Structure 1
Amino acid sequence: MKFFGKETFYFNYQIINARLHGIKSAILLVFFPNYYQSNNFVMNIRTFILFALGICLFSCGDSSKNGDQTEETPSVEITPVSTPSEDMTFMQLQKWEVTDMIFDNDGLGVALDKKPYLIFRDGRASGFAGCNSFVGEYVEGENNGLNFNNLGYTKKACPEAARIEDRFLKLMETAQSFELNANKDKLKIKSTNGQIHLVLK
């Protein structure tokens, strides 16, 4: 068994005592500033300690926020067609108004004074999402495949339409195909999360 001499014991005691003194000084500077004289040196130390504490709190909060984020379901990639299909050619330059949606197996009616709508035009998609206008791109794929890309929209706040708009945009972002009925007046956009049902206006 190895024993330490008095010098080693005294040296360790001095280190521990110095650390405790430093912690005590930091606490007094932050929470009891009047304990010391109000000179520039003391105030600079106090400012530095407050700044360091703020950085630590901000870092902890930011990492907690990132941990709560959930990943959205990506859209299914399609093989683009060289020329638009007959159905897509008909769908272009028409106004398609949303009647209802299915999102994660839950039906959602659209009871708004101004309903969301969608317009196709030469690879560009535009329309109204329930509160905000949007623009973006669409790609037609083989076997009625359909993807929407680079969607951008205005940033107005509409509490009464927020849920409908959020579902509508998420379904567009994860769209994978479309289906036009025989009369060419009803359109169904199928997504990995559900469906959007639209009618010709």
Structure 2
Amino acid sequence: MKLKIFTLAFAVMALYSCGPTQNKEKNNTTNATNDSAITEAQWVLQQLEGEDIDPSKNGKLISFTLNTKDNKVTGYAGCNSFFGNYTLGAGNRISFSTLGLTKMACSEDDFKESELMNVLDMTDNYRINGNQLELNVGKRAPLAIFKKVDKNAEPIVEKYWKLKTLEGKDVKMSKNQEKEIYFTLKMNENRVVGFAGCNGMSGTYKLEERNRISFSQMATTMMACPDLDVNEAEFLKVFELTDNYTINGDTLSLNVGRRAPLAVFEAVYL
């Protein structure tokens, strides 16, 4: 009889001891999944304290990445790079510590880096909604909102592309030309901005798989232009015809089908 009671007690203890262990393992799996949603991705700034931000500064994106290997955070604040440590906890808790900046001299027009660094210092929790990340303190409105970007994808966006050749002919800046011909693809609302030789230009773009690209609603300002080496109408025609692109290092070609490039551009890092 004593043997039966002892066996039953042992079985009950074993059952209870297994339960919490399984729950703990399940919780650990959940936390790991949550952690992986925020780490090893480039988070590009979209809003800071409720204000929309253009993340492209000096040819780079205001952004950060959480590296799981050593729990380090690295990023770009608009003029200087920053670095430090981060800690993740249950319930989407996050904190940043020992943050430092490089010591580049920044112009007054540059993004106020101290505001971003202050937000990181205050943050104690985060929320992910699709490809957006909110950094918060307590239950307040988000301190900052970031957009997830694949670090290896879309190398064409947020770069200053200076025109080098048009229909196979080298392009040089005219003496009476205000600035060089260029364009940039902005992440915000998929906008195109640039300069066509005399007039500013704008429009929208769409990127698809296999380096497919299309431009629409391309328009220019209405300045009266002196004689230029580059015909603006011919340059704008490139965007109308283009259906794909190729990138080789800092060289971009806009193409139609498999023809020779309509135009070739060079990335300039300001």
Relative to the length of structure 1, the TM-score reads: 0.51
- The answer to whether the 8 A contact 2:94-2:124 is kept is yes
Q: Against the structure 1 CA distance between its residues 133 and 198, is the aligned structure 2 distance closer, same or farther, given a 3 Å change threshold?
A: same
Residue 174 of structure 1 and its aligned partner are, at CA, apart by 1.1
In the alignment, which residue of structure 2 is the partner of 1:107?
51
Is 1:117 aligned to 2:66, yes or no? no
Instruction: Name which of 117, 132, 136 aligns with 1:186.
Output: 132
Residue 167 of structure 1 and its aligned partner are, at CA, apart by 0.8
In the alignment, which residue of structure 1 is the partner of 2:33?
86
- The answer to whether the 8 A contact 2:44-2:55 is kept is no
Is 1:146 aligned to 2:90, yes or no? no
In the alignment, which residue of structure 2 is the partner of 1:136?
84
- The answer to whether the 8 A contact 1:172-1:191 is kept is no
- The answer to whether the 8 A contact 2:64-2:73 is kept is yes
Is 1:127 aligned to 2:85, yes or no? no
| CA distance in 2 between partners of 1:96 and 1:162 (Å) | 17
Deviation per residue, 1:111-169 (Å, 9 max, x gap): 54333101011221111111111111101122111100011110112222242x11111
Aligned AA (1:189): L
In the alignment, which residue of structure 2 is the partner of 1:95?
42
Aligned AA (1:167): E
In the alignment, which residue of structure 2 is the partner of 1:63?
none
- The answer to whether the 8 A contact 1:95-1:117 is kept is yes
Q: Against the structure 1 CA distance between its residues 82 and 166, is the aligned structure 2 distance closer, same or farther, given a 3 Å change threshold?
A: farther
* Higher RCO by CA contacts (8 Å cutoff, separation 6 or greater): 1
- The answer to whether the 8 A contact 2:46-2:52 is kept is no
Aligned AA (2:61): K
In the alignment, which residue of structure 1 is the partner of 2:239?
none
Instruction: Name which of 110, 117, 124 aligns with 1:161.
Output: 110
**Paired residue secondary structure (2:143):** strand
What CA RMSD, in Å, does the superposition of the two structures yield over aligned residues?
Answer: 2.4
- The answer to whether the 8 A contact 2:82-2:102 is kept is yes
Q: Which has the higher helix share?
A: 1
- Residue pairs, 1:3-14, within 5 angstroms: none
| CA distance in 2 between partners of 1:82 and 1:126 (Å) | 26
| CA distance in 2 between partners of 1:96 and 1:157 (Å) | 24
Deviation per residue, 1:83-137 (Å, 9 max, x gap): 85412212221111001111xxx63523543331010112211111111111111
Structure with greater Cα Rg: 1
- The answer to whether the 8 A contact 2:84-2:99 is kept is yes
In the alignment, which residue of structure 1 is the partner of 2:118?
170
Q: Which has the higher strand share?
A: 2
Q: Against the structure 1 CA distance between its residues 82 and 151, is the aligned structure 2 distance closer, same or farther, given a 3 Å change threshold?
A: farther
**Paired residue secondary structure (1:179):** strand
- The answer to whether the 8 A contact 1:97-1:118 is kept is yes
- The answer to whether the 8 A contact 1:97-1:199 is kept is yes
- The answer to whether the 8 A contact 2:45-2:53 is kept is no
- The answer to whether the 8 A contact 1:125-1:135 is kept is yes
| CA distance in 1 between partners of 2:32 and 2:97 (Å) | 19
Aligned AA (1:161): D
